[in-house]
Amino acid sequence: MRDVAAAQKVPLIDLDKRSQALLQNMGVENSKLLFLHLMPGENPNYPAGKEDNTHFNELGARKMAQLVLVDLKALKLGLAERIVAPCPPGKHLFLHSRVYTLTTGRRFVQF
């Protein structure tokens, strides 16, 4: 992937490298906070609980999105201009006790 991007002279967001660095920096125990670890009874979809070190929970997904956003801005890609700040107060949708902002009919997750 890195070789192809270099050969084609196209920008590369190396999420593999960035996420590995983040997880190594956090350490084994702290990085578990980013993955789907549920206690029994915590979520109706997993009544017996779940210990999944492959799939991110919401916090982990947000951290990965932040890594991408940093690189989008650093690479000055056109997409970076389309990243918007959360909408003004009063335009929120509450879903599962989390706040999602609504902007021009699209759903943007607040960070």
**What's the pLDDT tens digit per position in 7-64?**
999 999 999 999 999 999 999 989 999 999 999 998 899 999 999 999 999 889 989 9
- Give pTM, 2 decimals: 0.69
Which class for 35: exposed (0-12), middle (13-18), buried (19 or more C-beta within 10 A)?
A: middle
Q: What is the mean pLDDT of residues 57-82?
A: 89
Is there a contact between 29 and 36 (Cβ–Cβ < 8 Å)?
Answer: no
Per-residue DSSP letter, 42: S
